[in-house]
Amino acid sequence: DTWFSSALWPFSTLGWPADTEDMRKFYPNSVMVTGYDIIYFWVARMIKMGLHFPAEAPFPDIVIHGLVRAPDGRKMSKSLGNTVDPLDVAEEHGADALRLALIQAAAPGQDVPFQIEWVDAARRFGNKLWNAVRFALPHVEGAGVPANGGYPDDPAPEAAWILSRLSATTTRFDELMDEYRFSEAYGLLYNFAWSEAFDWYLELAKGQLKSGDPETAATVGVVLRDILKLFHPVMPFVTEELWSHLVGDGLLAGADWPEPPNVSGPASFGVFQDLITAFRRFRAEHGLGPRHPLDVVIADPDGVADGWWAAQVASLAGLQPAWTTRLDDTSGRTRMVIGPLQAFISLEGIVDIEAERARLEKALVDARGLAESTERKLANKEFIAKAPEAVVAKERAKAQEAAERMAKLSAQLDELG
């Protein structure tokens, strides 16, 4: 009978009732991972049989997950014709992509309404990982990437930043895994790999790699190596293949788990990122190419910018700004506030200043009208007394937003002269 045989499974497969080496080594196990629908049929019976025969529970921890359901939330059923064959999905998108998509979607206590778009997104991440390693290989093949350790002792600011982020991510990832919060762990790792390692650090490293800087090559190598290690449990095939090219020392499946490097990143790195993002957004808003020349002056009264900023601003933002502690004449320039910094960009040749002034004045009139309308409503005692709290809070938020927009538009008009 299925229920009886499953109840004996944890120890009957290990040679019980004989005193076998497998029984001594693998019983009890550490954790049972199961759907909630078989807790009584299988899990409870395994525990009862374990307590009765070997006289010890087969596992101390039980992780209970939801069920994979059809996209509309109904349970998959052959009679309904809404089943998805995982072999078909793996054939089209890859087993790694299917595993990663399901792990990321499987939040504790929730069923998973299966969406093929999630699998396709995971497949694209696999491509991104593959391309990152392929980009790094020509730069790291000479020195080689060690299977463990190898973090630079006194890294440059850019390397210190990514190593500090790798350390924080690895530490938190391990904590989440110890708590069996798998979806959160891999969501955290996914965001770190894509947004910080691939999108930021590899861009920062390009110029240094081209110049043959060995420290940068070593940093790129160990960061990608640790990312492969961390993703290996859910993406075993692509990470094992990439390991063979990047490290080539044995199998990744048998490698040590990464130890977080003890590195502190530069305190001003977040401001640097916001500055680059602001310049890119400005170009996008005005339909300018990534290398369109801009006349920029950056006021840095607190001396936040480090020496390495200039080369990286030129590389990532495509401009060479003038740096000062204060700019008095801002006429014809628009201002961007980035934390303690202010960037003043000349609009000459980019924006028709008279047309821009007219646009800002119209926007200011609109914002003032919204603010006055909202203030009249909030001044009405009957409205305050009868309207639901959520409605009143929404009106107050609108008033605050309108006031902030008016202040911003007024400042922009002043800056145009």
Q: Per-residue pLDDT tens for 4-18? A: 888 999 999 999 999
Q: pLDDT band at residue 3, thresholds of 50, 70 and 90?
A: confident
> Cis before residue 28, ω within 30 degrees of 0?
yes
Q: What is the mean pLDDT of the chain?
A: 91
Q: pLDDT band at residue 147, thresholds of 50, 70 and 90?
A: very high
User: What is the predicted pLDDT for the residue at 180?
Assistant: 93
Amino acid residing at 378: L
> Cis before residue 108, ω within 30 degrees of 0?
no
Better-predicted residue by pLDDT, 321 or 285: 321
Alpha-carbon span 224 to 226, nearest angstrom: 5
Range with lowest mean pLDDT among 55-59, 161-165, 254-258, 399-403: 399-403
- Rounded-to-10 torsion of CA 305, 310, 316, 320: 120
User: What is the predicted pLDDT for the residue at 286?
Assistant: 79
The full DSSP string for 343-373 is EEEE-TTTS-HHHHHHHHHHHHHHHHHHHHH
pLDDT at 300 over 70: yes
Q: Contact at 8 Å (CB) between 114 and 88?
A: no
What would the pLDDT profile of 25-45 be if each residue is shown by its tens digit? 999 999 999 988 888 889 999
What would the pLDDT profile of 381-409 be if each residue is shown by its tens digit? 888 888 888 888 899 999 999 998 898 88
pLDDT at 377 over 80: yes
pLDDT at 94 over 80: yes
Average pLDDT over residues 155-169: 95
pLDDT at 1 over 70: no
Q: pLDDT band at residue 325, thresholds of 50, 70 and 90?
A: very high
Alpha-carbon span 233 to 231, nearest angstrom: 6
Q: Contact at 8 Å (CB) between 62 and 34?
A: yes
pLDDT at 417 over 70: no
User: What is the predicted pLDDT for the residue at 322?
Assistant: 93
Better-predicted residue by pLDDT, 184 or 416: 184
Average pLDDT over residues 63-77: 86
Kindly state the tokens that stand for 16.
Answer: 């019980």
Average pLDDT over residues 158-172: 96
- With residue 406 as reference, give the H or E element that holds it: helix 389-416
Indicate the pTM of the whole model. Answer: 0.82
Q: What does DSSP say about strands 68-69 and 112-113: parallel, antiparallel, or unpaired?
A: parallel
The answer to whether the Cα torsion of 231, 232, 238, 239 is positive or negative is positive
pLDDT at 2 over 80: no
User: What is the predicted pLDDT for the residue at 143?
Assistant: 67
Residue 323's DSSP bridge partners are: 298
Average pLDDT over residues 180-195: 95
Alpha-carbon span 417 to 412, nearest angstrom: 9
Amino acid residing at 16: W
pLDDT at 19 over 80: yes
What would the pLDDT profile of 240-276 be if each residue is shown by its tens digit? 999 999 998 899 999 999 999 999 999 899 999 999 9
Alpha-carbon span 316 to 208, nearest angstrom: 13
Phi, psi of 274 (to 5 degrees): -65, -35
Alpha-carbon span 186 to 286, nearest angstrom: 37
Average pLDDT over residues 199-222: 93
Better-predicted residue by pLDDT, 77 or 210: 210
User: What is the predicted pLDDT for the residue at 288?
Assistant: 85
pLDDT at 157 over 80: yes
Alpha-carbon span 212 to 209, nearest angstrom: 5
